[in-house]
Amino acid sequence: MSEEQGEGFSRQAWKRLEQTKSTRAGWGQAHYERLLMSFGFLSRQGRKHTIYWDPDDKANRVSVPRHGDLKAYVAEQVIAAVETMLKRKGIQ
C-alpha cells in the first residue's frame, strides 16, 4: 500500500479491509465495527442490528446484525460502503 492510499486512515484499518476482502465469511460484529469505525463511519444501535453510515454521505450506510458469525453478504456490503467512501474522497 502506498502512502497516498493511507490518507488519514491507520495501517490497521487497511489491513482489516484487506482481510475482509480475502475472507468474506465468518467475521463477527466486532470485526465490522472496528473496520467501519476506523474508516470514520458513525453508528447507532437498532433492535437487532447496528447501523453504520458515512458522516459525509448519509445515503452510504450498512446494517450489521449483532449475532454470531455473519454471512458473506455482510462483508460484501461493508466493503462496498468503505470503497464508496474512499472513491468519494478520491483515495481509491
Q: List domains and CATH numbers for the chain.
A: 9-88 (3.30.920.30)
pLDDT higher than 80, residue 72: yes
As a whole number of angstroms, the distance between CA 57 and CA 40 comes to 12
Q: In sequence order, which ranges of 8-71 are alpha helices (DSSP H)?
A: 11-22, 29-38
Nearest Cα to 39, choosing from 81, 9, 74? 9
The tens digit of pLDDT for each residue in 3-54 reads: 445 678 999 999 999 999 999 988 999 999 999 999 999 999 999 999 999 9
